[in-house]
Chain A
Amino acid sequence: MDDWEKENRVTDARSEMNELVAQSMKNYEVKPNAIFAKLSDISGAFSKGLINWSRSNSVWPLQFGLACCAIELMSFGSPRIDAERKGFLLFRSTPRQCDVMIIAGWVTKSMIPEIKRLYEQMARPRYIVSFGECATCGGPWFESYNIIRGIDQVLPVDVYVAGCPPRPENLFDALMKLQKKIGGKIED
């Protein structure tokens, strides 16, 4: 994710100025007492764990479906699977309230700028689940002239789900994996 952000970072005069200010402030930094440093480390670790725990238990997906897999995405919220019991609350319609974007369907060339824009509007930390074969590698449309072969060519993906379309249970599994990843229990 860091590489992507570095490449796509908007550099303007204001951010450069902020960096200069931060550098000049370093000279005036007061070195804290050793005991306080230890305490802040402990509380920092504790609060980090707390934040991760709360983040991983309230993953809000974006209401965004592209194609066939979007129907299974809707089934995911329906009574049979009942996504809310694990903290994947109601699908939100605005990217500003969401943590995870589920790319459900094939990504056409005309859709890339829209998806990028949605991703940029999401608040950090933000995650992407590539749901289904079309979003993962192009799927059956691999030879098509208007499809990109996998969303990971444009955006960083956290969890891939295989299947055409995957069952809603698979999405549940993928989001539980994502919870573990947010909680720091599994590595990248």
Chain B
Amino acid sequence: MAVTRINIGPVHPSTHGVLRLVADIDGDTVVDVQPHIGFLHRGVEKLVETRMFMQNPPYMEKLDYVSPMSYDEVYVAAVEAAMGVEVKERAQYIRVILLELQRIASHLLWIGTMCNDIGQMFTAFMWGFQDRDMVLNLLEEAAGGRMFYVNMRIGGMVRDLPPDFADHALGLMDYMEKRVKEYERYLERNPVFMERMKGVGVLSYDDAKNLGVTGPVLRASGVNFDARKNKAYYVYQKLHFSTQVQMAGDNLARYKVRMMEIRESIRLVREAIKALPDGDALGMPVKLILPAAKNRISIVSRELPRGECIMYLVADAQKPYRLSIRSPSFINLAALNFLAKGQRTADMFGIMGTLDLVMGCVDK
């Protein structure tokens, strides 16, 4: 059969965000697929250079709009490292709690959109958004915003947790634990779901390392790497959780890693709330002139819901001189061509769904 070249996107319900794919297909088999990016490019790295350090977190949040607080935190941590500021202990615990809640919200949204990609299981979409809204309510209570929070300051937080937060969070965690079981019962007993996930898009251990993929995609291929564990930051080494690793490397393994990560996050939130120390959690007020950067260069690595994000900050006295962002979605997008080759055209979207791309993070 002759090879046909088809264009998918940039506006297409199955491309996550605004991504254009040019695919060469032979019958129904994908021979080659080239992603064309840049439809959301707005020059964050350049804009950041024109602003003071603490004017920038709102820009960082819009990079990855499914887990905004995590990106905010990476940037603030990079600035803290450049200034040589220690984060207060209570603030560290609060950050861990909020970041893990954000991870749960992000993975719940992923379940919904991914199930849409592999065959119109609209129930999963409804369930995912319903539960995500509950987590967002909790974050709204703690940080004041529904989607964008900007509640990190250098050395701490903007505000302490509200008094009822611990009860509400623990209640939600109990509910969420039940729901995760329900999701698994609903999805893994579904023959359509299993057919489209099992054995599709297999990424072997060596290939995963060579392609440089990060996060759940890497862990699903059997590589035991989690920046929370391996590059321990904050109080993560004091808390008990395990890195979730699956050996199969297919779509199902990536799904399982994310489901288990929700469980681990629930565990982390519970433990962090129990161990939350008393004291002051507030960071430096922005209105005061911040201390000038001591170290000129800082490199910070954090585990986001999508993988490991590294920020490289060259600091001037009051502004970033250069900020370079290694975004996990961009790295994982590189694996699409490798994984989709030889698969069915429809499975290409399933693979793209399990890579969990956010185009705002890819295009910067």
Q: State A146–B363 Cα separation when bound (angstroms).
A: 12
Closest to B50 in A: A143
Residues from chain B with Cβ under 8 Å of A74 in the complex: 112-113, 129
Closest to A167 in B: B146
B interface: dominant SS: loop
Q: A118-B11, A143-B50, A167-B146 are in contact. Are A67 and B62 (CB under 8 A)?
A: yes
Residues from chain B with Cβ under 8 Å of A147 in the complex: 42
Are the CB atoms of A80 and B130 closer together than 8 Å?
yes
Are the CB atoms of B125 and A78 closer together than 8 Å?
yes
Q: State A140–B147 Cα separation when bound (angstroms).
A: 15
**What number of A-B contacts does a CB cutoff of 8 Å give?**
81
Q: How far is the CB of A140 from chain B (nearest CB, A)?
A: 6
Q: State A108–B38 Cα separation when bound (angstroms).
A: 9
- The reply to whether the CB of B75 lies closer than 8 angstroms to some CB of chain A is no
Closest to B64 in A: A68
Contact with A along B160-197 (1 / 0, CB 8 A): 00000000000000000000000000000000000000
Residues from chain A with Cβ under 8 Å of B18 in the complex: 66, 111
**Which of A72, A80, A146 is B42 in contact with, Cβ under 8 Å?**
A146
Are the CB atoms of B65 and A75 closer together than 8 Å?
no
Are the CB atoms of A143 and B47 closer together than 8 Å?
yes
Q: A65-B17, A79-B130, A80-B130 are in contact. Are A110 and B38 (CB under 8 A)?
A: yes
- The reply to whether the CB of A97 lies closer than 8 angstroms to some CB of chain B is no
Q: A80-B130, A108-B41 are in contact. Are A72 and B147 (CB under 8 A)?
A: yes
- The reply to whether the CB of B10 lies closer than 8 angstroms to some CB of chain A is yes
Q: How far is the CB of A156 from chain B (nearest CB, A)?
A: 19
**Which of B10, B17, B43 is A144 in contact with, Cβ under 8 Å?**
B43
Q: How far is the CB of A88 from chain B (nearest CB, A)?
A: 16
Quick one: which of B46, B50, B147 has the most chain A CB within 10 A?
B147
Q: State A80–B128 Cα separation when bound (angstroms).
A: 11
- The reply to whether the CB of B149 lies closer than 8 angstroms to some CB of chain A is no
Are the CB atoms of A145 and B43 closer together than 8 Å?
yes
- The reply to whether the CB of B53 lies closer than 8 angstroms to some CB of chain A is no
Interface size, A (range): 20 to 34
Q: State A68–B60 Cα separation when bound (angstroms).
A: 12
- The reply to whether the CB of B133 lies closer than 8 angstroms to some CB of chain A is yes
**Which of A67, A114, A143 is B360 in contact with, Cβ under 8 Å?**
A67
- The reply to whether the CB of B58 lies closer than 8 angstroms to some CB of chain A is yes
Q: State A65–B65 Cα separation when bound (angstroms).
A: 13
Quick one: which of B62, B125, B133, B359 has the most chain A CB within 10 A?
B62
Residues from chain B with Cβ under 8 Å of A72 in the complex: 147
Quick one: which of A68, A72, A75 has the most chain B CB within 10 A?
A68
Closest to B113 in A: A74
- The reply to whether the CB of A150 lies closer than 8 angstroms to some CB of chain B is no
Closest to A139 in B: B62
Residues from chain A with Cβ under 8 Å of B17 in the complex: 65-67, 70
- The reply to whether the CB of A51 lies closer than 8 angstroms to some CB of chain B is no
- The reply to whether the CB of B13 lies closer than 8 angstroms to some CB of chain A is yes
5 closest A-B pairs by CB: A78-B129, A68-B65, A144-B42, A93-B13, A141-B42
**Partner-A contacts on B (CB < 8 A):** 10-11, 13, 17-18, 38-43, 46-47, 50, 58-59, 62, 65-66, 109, 112-113, 125-126, 129-130, 133, 146-148, 359-360
Mind listing 9 A-B residue pairs with CB under 8 Å? A67-B65, A70-B17, A71-B147, A78-B129, A79-B129, A108-B39, A108-B41, A140-B59, A165-B146
What 6 additional pairs, Cβ within 8 angstroms, besides A68-B360, A143-B47, A145-B46?
A: A67-B65, A68-B65, A68-B148, A75-B129, A108-B40, A146-B41
